[in-house]
Structure 1
């Protein structure tokens, strides 16, 4: 991390987290953040659900909810970018404050509640996206929707022409009863509707499913079966957790989803169990607590074909993506892997 980035992060951490997040996006759009460009090598290049990635390190949804910084993010060293979540209609989300730094725990709690400017505004920005990046959108449902399953279909239909992939997000803890859609019957019905809408597109795109880390073994098996039955293209494991075990920060009791370092073990164990259940038939994306190349490598060897991060950027800055990708290249070389794909799932049993 450069001195400039270190000082900038220190300044941002002195102000309200949500305000700081907005300022970080403005600085990125204004060209004030040094960007490394594409980070790749023959060892790092990989494929995820038919998508060619320069490297397997992606940006998780939530950092750029409204797709306002696509061009600079495409030069920030990520192998792929996920924006959103987007809902059919704009919504304000939950009242502020709704974002909390847990500095002692290297963690974040948020209860945003799918605040976004709506699918039409986001689609207009995606239409002007950089063409040389891999960009996806997290699909959401309005809080007051009478038919949340149809909301996912609506957002997909409105935005798919400008996307490389879309993610069905039924795992946010901040929209009431949204996680109920992870039940087998409801999830299967929802995914069938989304996949039918995807198949009817002029240019069908991969559809991913994002799940929670708080599923018990039976629920996880149900999710895997629903994903397989509906032929989802990949599963993202995982979203934020409601668990608060072991936290020390003053904000540990705040309501919302916990992300960051404390989520690493829990999310990686879910990932590995899912890898064991699916036996490699569905590509997995590992998310939760990644803050170093070693963390990313652990997710890959546990069963992930690619990884995503977000919360660690609060503490390590945007340069973290490139640092992780380069470090991952070195770790793969150290262990004799010629490609990312060769390393996927080689240590699944260590986590199950």
Structure 2
């Protein structure tokens, strides 16, 4: 459920449901997907999550892939943690967990869209120690480190809490990378809280030796009490501190996550803790992150890492990826960019392959618009085009229609390949490499579709032989490099509009892929659909009876067009899924220029030959609407004023980010 589908399709529906129902349905859906074979691959593919080495972060002595964690309250029963782990997180919080289950009440969860806040009537609901130990004992199915948040039963006295924490530590130590120690919102006195923390720390050193121990501070804890606590408890002796994500009243089970004031409260707590703890202690900020700029502000204030909870509900599941991109940009922009590889080292060969496809598309269009058949086609058939025209006036027009649509598709492929090479491969972008090489693999493989009917096209084979070495040469010396372009930092109107545009492009890509598969399948099986035969005015049997080689030739054209369309669809889908980032003008122009030849060929040739059956052209009309919707929706984000504002936003962050270099 990437952002483009979440904001355009799912969120409008989910937000019409009761919050608890929407949460459970969502978690069960993505959790179920992650448990089927290939499910996690699908999730990774849709988001193309990359965690480059510069994002690696030390957290309480542990090295995590990135400084973005998943808060435990989002999935209290662990239904979808395997799926959520694929969203770009570096670590996961599990909990709170108590020795006995804390059951959810019948009261509704409050979800306040304008405030971007969630109110849980039972904020400490969990399945209890026994259930969690059984679940962890079976394995989590993921490699991310998890920190277990240990909490006393609501209403416990300090002595009862100590006994419970001892049991929790003993049972869960084999499964945890580290622990968060909770319990300071039970309304205890400062002396009782300090004694409790001192004894819990001693228990943890004995029961979970070597496991990081972080103190969990409620977000609503007054700063004066934090200062007093720091004086009463040697906080620097702990491995770190977590600033919680919930606001609540002491001793009350209801909590509020997100909303007005949560980010400001988290920033204040982080600044105070950094002042008290010094530069080296770990601080995890778990509240208030609803946009990448929120995370940057917390990191600049002194946080070592952030955790996400309500931000995933309101900003969407792409938030961890966007935060990582923002952090990566800040970490890299002060370093010198490596020299791009030479034209002849790798990417240039793919650019030449794209140019080759453009030249081939132009030649194919000229042939289809004039002679239609090449000499070896006529030799294979044993008849000339004039004889075919005499047999059926529409038959040669039908072949023109197949060959011009193929030519237009080749031109579109050439534009996409050149652009992906020049703007993606040259700069080591992994997503661009995945898109273009997967498309190439599909395109070159489609050559063998001629086996379905046995017609071997020597020109097609010669072009493939010429282009294949360019593909192989482009593979040399490849090295992934993270993007150095500034990412989007806010969830503004332009960004939300772009999600709709991106959704149009992704749907277009998948639709074209289905179309390519269907056309290829028809080409190597029945060859014609009913509207084709209605246009030609003959049955397949009549055509075959007149010349038994004519159908294999048409089948070759159809299968070739289907394979080319599928190849183009892969390039479009990969670019739409992974390449839409603020200010990437080249991608918008790639879609505009890359789409024009294919759509122009499809529409104009049908009009020219008079093959205008509505149902036959309906998929093309829908594709044009999706194409136009994508261009319209993404223009401000990729090309318009948003691209200029982006640099101003980052410039405005500089004064804050100067506080701390990541």
* Inter-partner Cα distance in structure 1 for 2:180 and 2:154: 18
* Inter-partner Cα distance in structure 2 for 1:189 and 1:72: 40
- Give the match's secondary structure for 2:5: helix
**Distance 1:186-1:202 versus aligned 2 partners, 3 A rule:** closer
* Inter-partner Cα distance in structure 2 for 1:126 and 1:325: 28
Higher mean C-alpha deviation, range 323-332 or range 74-83: 323-332
Q: Is the 8 A contact 1:211 1:236 kept in 2?
A: yes
Q: 1:143 aligns with which of 154, 159, 163?
A: 154
Deviations 1:109-129 (A, max 9, x none): 223142111111111112212
* Inter-partner Cα distance in structure 1 for 2:184 and 2:657: 24
Higher mean C-alpha deviation, range 187-196 or range 143-152: 143-152
Q: 1:122 aligns with which of 111, 132, 156?
A: 132
* Residue 212, structure 1, aligned to residue 212, structure 2: no
* Residue 313, structure 1, aligned to residue 319, structure 2: no
* TM-aligned CA deviation for residue 230 of structure 1: 7.7
Q: 2:194 aligns with which of 188, 195, 201?
A: 188
Q: Is the 8 A contact 1:92 1:115 kept in 2?
A: yes
- Give the match's secondary structure for 2:310: coil
Q: Is the 8 A contact 1:38 1:78 kept in 2?
A: no
Which one has a larger percent helix, Structure 1 or Structure 2? 2
**Distance 1:26-1:131 versus aligned 2 partners, 3 A rule:** closer
- Give the match's secondary structure for 1:298: helix
CA RMSD of aligned residues (A): 2.8
The aligned residue for residue 89 of structure 2 is: 78
* Residue 347, structure 1, aligned to residue 357, structure 2: no
Listed as ranges, the gaps of 5+ residues in structure 2 are 35-41, 338-654
Q: TM-score, normalised by structure 1?
A: 0.83
Q: TM-score, normalised by structure 2?
A: 0.46
* Residue 170, structure 1, aligned to residue 170, structure 2: no
The higher-RCO structure (CA 8 Å, 6+ apart) is 1
- Give the match's secondary structure for 2:211: coil
The aligned residue for residue 56 of structure 1 is: 67
Which one has a larger percent strand, Structure 1 or Structure 2? 1
* TM-aligned CA deviation for residue 217 of structure 1: 3.3
**Distance 1:85-1:184 versus aligned 2 partners, 3 A rule:** same
* TM-aligned CA deviation for residue 337 of structure 1: 11
Deviations 1:200-243 (A, max 9, x none): 23653111111123333321112333552582211111332249
Deviations 1:149-168 (A, max 9, x none): 32222222211210111111
Higher mean C-alpha deviation, range 289-298 or range 226-235: 226-235
- 1:245-284 correspondence runs (5 A): 256-262=254-260, 263-284=262-283
Q: 1:237 aligns with which of 237, 243, 252?
A: 243
* Inter-partner Cα distance in structure 2 for 1:230 and 1:298: 23
* TM-aligned CA deviation for residue 71 of structure 1: 2.0
Q: Is the 8 A contact 1:286 1:304 kept in 2?
A: yes
**Distance 1:153-1:344 versus aligned 2 partners, 3 A rule:** farther
Q: Is the 8 A contact 2:70 2:308 kept in 1?
A: yes
* Inter-partner Cα distance in structure 1 for 2:658 and 2:274: 11
Q: Is the 8 A contact 1:87 1:139 kept in 2?
A: yes
Q: Is the 8 A contact 1:137 1:167 kept in 2?
A: yes
* Inter-partner Cα distance in structure 1 for 2:245 and 2:119: 12
* Residue 104, structure 1, aligned to residue 114, structure 2: yes
Higher mean C-alpha deviation, range 87-96 or range 132-141: 87-96
The aligned residue for residue 625 of structure 2 is: none
The aligned residue for residue 5 of structure 2 is: 4
Listed as ranges, the gaps of 5+ residues in structure 1 are 173-177, 244-254
**Distance 1:292-1:307 versus aligned 2 partners, 3 A rule:** same
- Give the match's secondary structure for 2:78: coil
State the number of aligned residues.
326
